[in-house]
Amino acid sequence: MRIRRLKIRNFRAHEKSEVEFNDGINLLIGQNGAGKSSILEAIFAALYMGHPSFPRGYLQANTRVNAKGGIGLTLEFEHDEKSYKIHRDTKKSELIEDGALIAEKSSDIARWVERNIYPIQVFTNALYIRQGEIEGIITNREIMEKVLRKVLGIDDYENAEKNATDVIRELKRKKDYLKKLIERKAEVEESLREAEKRFSETLRRISELRERERKLQGEFDEAEKEYSRLRSLKEELDKLEKEKAIIEQRIKAEKERIKDYETQIEEAKKEITELEEKAERLKDLEPVEKEYVKLKSLLSLKDELSKLSLSEAKLAEKKRSLEEKVAKVEEVQKNIEELEREEKSLRRDYEELKRKNGLYQRALQLTAEAERYRNELEKAGTTPEKLEKELEEVESAKERLEDLREEMARTREEIASLTGQKENLLENLSKLEGAKVCPLCKRPIEEHEEGEIKAEYDAEISSIEKKLEKLSKKLEKLRQEELKLREVIKGESRLIRLKKTADLLQEVEEKLSKYDIEELERAAEEFENTKARLIEIKRELRHLREELEELEKAKEELERVEKRLEEIGKEKAEIEKKLQAEGFGSFEEVEGRIKELEPAYREYLSLRNVPSQLERAKKRLASLEGKRRESVERLEGLRTELNVVKGKIKKLSEEFSLEAYNEAEKRYMESAKELEKAKAELKGAEELRDEVMKLLDELKVKKREIEKAEKEIEAVEKAIADMITFKEKVARLKAEEELRGLEEVQKIAGETFSEMTEGKYQGVKLKREKKYGKERIDLKVLYAGNEVGLEFLSGGERIALGLAFRLALSLYKVRNLELLILDEPTPFLDEERRKKLVEIISSQLRKIPQVIIVSHDEELKDAADYVIRVENVGGKSRVEVESLGAY
Ligand SMILES: Nc1ncnc2c1ncn2[C@@H]1O[C@H](COP(=O)(O)OP(=O)(O)OP(=O)(O)O)[C@@H](O)[C@H]1O
Ligand SMILES: [Mg+2]
């Protein structure tokens, strides 16, 4: 097997990696924890996931932490010149061989790999050496045994040996069988002779039985012919008898029918005579019917007449009530005229009253207005007179304020000037202190003068100060007065507004003085009364006019009623006239006559249907006569037919006799029974013959078989001998092969180990040993001419030996495993041994077609053909090709 490509998704630290592998030495290099071993694990998982010895829950345990999606592994490889691809993820698994799908179930794929590539034990022990497990193969004997057997092909030899044993057992069984067969030869021959004898006896019996059957058949045919002739005659006779009976039956029925028709014809004739008599009577009654009908229609006028009288009475009543209404018309008209007159006279004064009422309303408005103004002034606590005075006060305050302001200005000026004077004086006074010259007149001042001048100054200053005091008091007084005046002037706008109201009040009062209120009040009252009366009149008039209209209508109706009454009178007279024309004085007379006619009329009614009944009776008679004629004809025909049948019966009776028929039937039956018996016997004999014939065949076959077995048994005996020889040879070969294999492995492992230990150890010894009745393989190391056990070795040396042993297995030429995978082979090796390992890899491992080594040891790059770097970047593995190697 050679691995070509591996794709990994979400597996351990790998999110998405792809690694290509080449032939030769592939080195996966990188720091601790980079994800190198994971790549090897992925190869292993792709091949064996689903194998019974594969750990459960493997997928979950190895899914990358925080992965989006599940694990996906795709491994491409070659084996025995075919290319393969295994794909596995959480949803599907498939194994493809040269492009064709050959397995889909995870466990099927693992089983296929186990059978067709390498058993999982071989893969994990000889071919894929996990990190830290290098020495496992040499320390665990059981595994060593298993791997060696596989690698050396011992199992194949053992299989061949076992197969040979099976074949020998089978051949022996066959030989036994053949022997037993041959022993039965005499017995079979005896049976054969006996069967042949029985066969010829049976044949003779059959020919006798056939002769008898032929004879009986002849007799039977004859009896059958006679019997069938008589039977057909009998059948013919029976048929004719039946026909005869039917015809006789029909003749009887026909006769009865004719009799029936005749009775019916008699009855019909009688009925016709009766009906003809009745028809005569009907003719006599016809004038009665005519008169009766006419009188009935005359009598119907009686009802009409009474209806007319009734409506005449009703109309007369109506006429009276209408006449009453018409009489009222004049009275209503008079009322209307009176009201109209009153209306006219009221209308004359109405306009004047309306005008005065308008004035009265206006006066009421003005009174209310004056009241409002008065209230307003009262609320302000003033009167027009008071207002006048207050406004005058404001005016004079305004004038006074003007004067006041002037005076204040003057006073302020005065104060300012005095203040100036005072300051001057003070300045001069200060200049005077210590000065020898008068500050004003610039003349020299005597010492005594200084006091005088000072006193003068002081007097002047104090007089100014007094004036100033007076002036400021005055100014204060003026300011007080100004405040008061301002207060007065501030109320001016309110006063002006109230003055306007007072003016309006005056105006309104003047207007009001022009009205005569009492007179206007009276006129307004009259106006209201007149208006109410006018409305009433209008309503009354409307009612009266409506009434009048109603009454006018009554007048028209009265005319119509009168006209109708007149018509009714005419109609009544006409009816009377008709009665008289028929010769009757009254309707009672008509009723009397009708009563007289009643019985005859009723008889007429009862006979009215007679003519049609007569018609029908005649028709029926004719049809009955026709039917009777037909029946008579049919009867004639039937009689002729009967004669013909009778003639035929007579003729056949002469040919047929019942005794002869019964005799023939008996003979026929007996002969048939005998024939059947003979046939059954013949059949039995024939069956027996067939049986004997079959037995004969079987015995002949058996005899031939025995003759064949006599020849075959020699060949089987020879094959057994050959097979035994073959088995012995295989056992020998197995031993030889094992010996050779062990020697070869021992040689390669020994050389490699010796080289790695630089001759400290001279080689290894692999021996098959028997211990406690069990065979096993024993591994020893040569040290200074001695064979020593593995416990003799140091840890590093044990690893070196493990490596050497694996190498030897991989290089064993007969069962080349093609692939070797080593995960960290160097951890416990010192520098010297690592160097040696590089050398060994370069010289020895290159003999294996494909080697994959995982290491963080950069030195190994010197031995590699192809270097792949694995790094861990931020918790994710990254794989890239680093170089084609130094080699
Ligand atoms: N399920 C997982 N999800 C994410 N990271 C994982 C998971 N399982 C293991 N790892 C990480 O993968 C790394 C182990 O990978 P691996 O054993 O392949 O490393 P290595 O390159 O062989 O290292 P060493 O040289 O130490 O043997 C660890 O650093 C670990 O943190
Ligand atoms: Mg590792």
Q: What is the pLDDT of residues 831-865, one digit of tens each?
A: 888 888 888 888 778 888 899 999 988 888 888 99
* Number of neighbouring beta carbons within 10 Å of residue 580: 11
> For residue 885, what pLDDT is reported?
65
DSSP state of 863: G
Give me the chain's average pLDDT, please.
89
CATH topology for 2-150+736-882 is Rossmann fold (3.40.50)
For the CA of 32, the nearest ligand: 1
Q: Is 703 left (phi over 0), alpha (psi -120 to 50) or beta?
A: alpha
Q: State the pLDDT confidence band at 109, using cuts at 50, 70 and 90.
A: very high
- 420-447 residues labelled b (16+ CB within 10 A) or e (exposed): eebeebeeebeebeeeeebeeeeeebee
Strand partners, 14: 11
* Cα 437-442-447 angle, rounded to 5 deg: 30
> For residue 794, what pLDDT is reported?
86
DSSP strand E in 21-161: where? Answer: 24-29, 72-79, 82-89, 93-97, 100-103, 128-129
> For residue 25, what pLDDT is reported?
93
Nearest to 779 by CA among 812, 816, 810, 753: 753
pLDDT > 60? residue 886? no
For the CA of 870, the nearest ligand: 1
> For residue 656, what pLDDT is reported?
83
Identity of the residue numbered 304: E
Q: Is 32 annotated as a binding residue?
A: yes
Distance CA 407, CA 411 (A): 6
Q: Give residue for tokens 């009288």.
A: 309
| Higher per-residue pLDDT: 594 or 777 | 594
Nearest to 850 by CA among 213, 25, 39, 49: 25
Q: Give the residue-averaged pLDDT of 519-527.
A: 91
Count the alpha carbons within 13 Å of 865 in the hemisphere toward its beta carbon. 17
What CA dihedral angle connects 144, 149, 153 and 157, to 10 degrees?
170
Strands 2-11 and 14-20: antiparallel
787 class by beta-carbon count within 10 Å (0-12 exposed, 13-18 middle, 19+ buried)? middle
DSSP strand E in 632-789: where? Answer: 763-771, 774-783, 786-788
Instruction: Give the distance (Å) from ligand 2 centre to CA of residue 125.
Output: 17
Cα 685 → chain centroid: 81
* Tens-digit pLDDT profile for residues 371-392: 999 999 899 888 888 888 989 9
Cα 854 → chain centroid: 58
Residue nearest to atom 7 of ligand 1 (CA): 12
144 class by beta-carbon count within 10 Å (0-12 exposed, 13-18 middle, 19+ buried)? buried
Coil, strand or helix: which one is 656?
coil
> For residue 813, what pLDDT is reported?
58
Instruction: Give the distance (Å) from ligand 2 centre to CA of residue 210.
Output: 102
Which atom of ligand 1 is closest in space to residue 65's alpha carbon?
Answer: 3
Under 8 Å between Cβ of 766 and 745 = yes
For the CA of 36, the nearest ligand: 1
Residue nearest to atom 5 of ligand 1 (CA): 13
Q: Is 35 annotated as a binding residue?
A: yes
Under 8 Å between Cβ of 458 and 425 = no
Instruction: Give the distance (Å) from ligand 2 centre to CA of residue 65.
Output: 18
Helices (H), 757-857: 795-811, 831-843
pLDDT > 50? residue 807? yes
Nearest to 295 by CA among 735, 679, 596, 636: 596
Under 8 Å between Cβ of 599 and 607 = no
Nearest to 400 by CA among 495, 498, 483: 483
* Number of neighbouring beta carbons within 10 Å of residue 471: 18
Residue nearest to atom 24 of ligand 1 (CA): 32
Of the ranges 251-255, 323-327, 768-772, which is most confident? 251-255
Under 8 Å between Cβ of 282 and 607 = yes
Q: Is 583 left (phi over 0), alpha (psi -120 to 50) or beta?
A: left
Q: Is 438 annotated as a binding residue?
A: yes
> For residue 814, what pLDDT is reported?
44
Q: Give the residue-averaged pLDDT of 639-648.
A: 91
Top mutation candidate among 28, 37, 857 for ligand 1, by most atoms within 8 Å of CB: 37
Q: State the pLDDT confidence band at 440, using cuts at 50, 70 and 90.
A: low
Nearest to 827 by CA among 130, 18, 47, 113: 130
Q: C-alpha distances in angstroms, 630 versus 257, 624, 827, 843?
A: 11, 10, 141, 141
Residue 161 neighbours by CB under 8 Å, 6+ apart: 727, 730, 731, 734
Coil, strand or helix: which one is 412?
helix
Residue nearest to atom 23 of ligand 1 (CA): 33
* Tens-digit pLDDT profile for residues 721-751: 999 999 999 989 888 888 888 898 899 899 9
Q: Is 810 annotated as a binding residue?
A: no
Query: 2-150+736-882 and 293-373+519-628 share one CATH topology?
Result: no
Residue nearest to atom 8 of ligand 1 (CA): 12
Ligand 1 is surrounded, with C-beta below 6 A, by: 12-13, 30, 32-38, 62-65, 131, 856, 870
* Number of neighbouring beta carbons within 10 Å of residue 382: 19
> For residue 66, what pLDDT is reported?
87
Top mutation candidate among 12, 37, 133 for ligand 1, by most atoms within 8 Å of CB: 12
Tokens in use for 821?
């995978």
Which atom of ligand 1 is closest in space to residue 41's alpha carbon?
Answer: 18
> For residue 434, what pLDDT is reported?
67
Q: C-alpha distances in angstroms, 658 versus 235, 243, 511, 655, 667?
A: 12, 20, 170, 10, 14
Which atom of ligand 1 is closest in space to residue 13's alpha carbon?
Answer: 5
Instruction: Give the distance (Å) from ligand 2 centre to CA of residue 12.
Output: 12
Q: Give residue for tokens 């009714």.
A: 568
Hey, what CATH class is 383-492 in? Answer: mainly alpha
Distance CA 538, CA 340 (A): 9
Which atom of ligand 1 is closest in space to residue 131's alpha carbon?
Answer: 27
Tokens in use for 875?
């918790």
Nearest to 21 by CA among 44, 49, 40: 40
* Tens-digit pLDDT profile for residues 651-676: 888 888 888 889 989 999 999 999 99
Instruction: Give the distance (Å) from ligand 2 centre to CA of residue 32.
Output: 7
Instruction: Give the distance (Å) from ligand 1 centre to CA of residue 34.
Output: 6
Q: Is 759 left (phi over 0), alpha (psi -120 to 50) or beta?
A: left
Q: Is 131 annotated as a binding residue?
A: yes
* Tens-digit pLDDT profile for residues 528-570: 999 999 999 999 999 999 998 988 898 889 899 999 999 999 9
> For residue 5, what pLDDT is reported?
96
Instruction: Give the distance (Å) from ligand 2 centre to CA of residue 144.
Output: 24
Distance CA 834, CA 859 (A): 8
Most distant CA pair in the chain: distance in Å? Answer: 234
Report residue 775: phi and psi, to 5°: -85, 140
Residues lying with their CB under 5 A of ligand 2, a single-atom ion: 37, 131
Residue nearest to atom 18 of ligand 1 (CA): 35
Distance CA 355, CA 357 (A): 5
Which atom of ligand 1 is closest in space to residue 30's alpha carbon?
Answer: 21
> For residue 463, what pLDDT is reported?
92
Q: State the pLDDT confidence band at 99, using cuts at 50, 70 and 90.
A: very high
Top mutation candidate among 10, 11, 16, 38 for ligand 1, by most atoms within 8 Å of CB: 38
Instruction: Give the distance (Å) from ligand 1 centre to CA of residue 37.
Output: 8
Under 8 Å between Cβ of 363 and 517 = yes
Identity of the residue numbered 812: Y
DSSP strand E in 181-222: where? Answer: none
Which atom of ligand 1 is closest in space to residue 870's alpha carbon?
Answer: 21
- pTM of the shown model: 0.44
pLDDT > 90? residue 576? no
Instruction: Give the distance (Å) from ligand 2 centre to CA of residue 33.
Output: 7
Q: Give the residue-averaged pLDDT of 427-436.
A: 76
Tokens in use for 371?
């009241």
DSSP strand E in 31-186: where? Answer: 72-79, 82-89, 93-97, 100-103, 128-129
Rounded to the nearest 10 degrees, what angle do helices 141-152 and 658-756 cross at? Answer: 110
For the CA of 58, the nearest ligand: 1
Q: Give the residue-averaged pLDDT of 112-116.
A: 93
Instruction: Give the distance (Å) from ligand 1 centre to CA of residue 872.
Output: 9
Residue 264 neighbours by CB under 8 Å, 6+ apart: 624
| Higher per-residue pLDDT: 43 or 585 | 43
Tokens in use for 483?
């405040």
For the CA of 41, the nearest ligand: 1
Instruction: Give the distance (Å) from ligand 2 centre to CA of residue 36.
Output: 6
Distance CA 535, CA 405 (A): 78
Residue nearest to atom 25 of ligand 1 (CA): 32
For the CA of 868, the nearest ligand: 1
| Higher per-residue pLDDT: 152 or 749 | 749
Q: Give the residue-averaged pLDDT of 514-529.
A: 90
CATH topology for 293-373+519-628 is Helix Hairpins (1.10.287)
Q: What percent of the chain has pLDDT over 90?
A: 51
Residue ranges covered by each domain of the chain: 2-150+736-882, 293-373+519-628, 383-492
